Chains A and B, each alone.
Chain A
Amino acid sequence: SAVISQKPSRDICQRGTSLTIQCQVDSQVTMMFWYRQQPGQSLTLIATANQGSEATYESGFVIDKFPISRPNLTFSTLTVSNMSPEDSSIYLCSVQGTGEQFFGPGTRLTVL
């Protein structure tokens, strides 16, 4: 299994600002994913981030709002841009194992 860390673990931000979330994995992985978990809800995939190519976004998510970087096989960032209170969620990164996906601890974002 992979050990995944995320920074920050939580943050409170003002609307209109942007926050960059970091995801670090303890081993090289090809596929990394970013999910959003809104309060009281399940996980929704934002995008797939593969090293060396642009991220692939799911329906309802766009690069201008959620730019993603994947500079190497152990690291990725997700930026939540021009935030509004509706962006208040837990943001999770995950990596693909041999079968299952492993998740980081999440970043709890509150937008005022």
Chain B
Amino acid sequence: GESVGLHLPTLSVQEGDNSIINCAYSNSASDYFIWYKQESGKGPQFIIDIRSNMDKRQGQRVTVLLNKTVKHLSLQIAATQPGDSAVYFCAEKDPGTYKYIFGTGTRLKVLA
């Protein structure tokens, strides 16, 4: 079937290695950010979020880092597994609204 993210940048990592997915955001006033995971044939799934008053937030096997100085967001996945293969999107909340602006996305391929 049709796949999401056919033309997206791709990151290939070996199973068990750590993955780092990067995202640049546009608005220095944005105060809330989310990482989503989208598997083929599914809608985006919430992974982790971070508010602008934090630099780092950890979840289960995932860490999000926020660098407000250069408007950069990263998602780190520890001990990457085959089930992590998907397209990952960052999203920044438009300040004062409930609208989210999504990044271009990165396809993560986990090699066995």
Contacts and interface: CB of A to CB of B under 8 A. Distances in A.
A102 interface: yes
Given A48-B98, A99-B49, A100-B49, A42 B6 contact: no
B103 A105 contact: no
B105 to A, nearest CB: 5
If over half of A's interface residues share one DSSP class (helix, strand or loop), that class is named, otherwise mixed; here it is strand
B61 interface: no
Interface in B69-105: 89, 98-100, 102-105
A1 B41 CA distance: 20
Contacts of B2: 39, 108, 110
Contact of B42 (A33, A101, A105, A110): A105
B100 A104 contact: no
Contacts of A101: 34, 46, 98, 100
Chain B interface extent, by class = 20 to 34
Contact of A104 (B8, B43, B98, B99): B43
B8 A103 contact: no
A43 interface: yes
Interface in A94-112: 94, 96, 99-106, 108, 110
A90 B6 CA distance: 13
Contact of A43 (B6, B42, B44): B44
B21 interface: no
A68 interface: no
B32 A99 contact: yes
A44 B104 CA distance: 10
Interface in B23-56: 32, 34, 36, 41-46, 49
Contacts of A96: 98
A40 B8 contact: yes
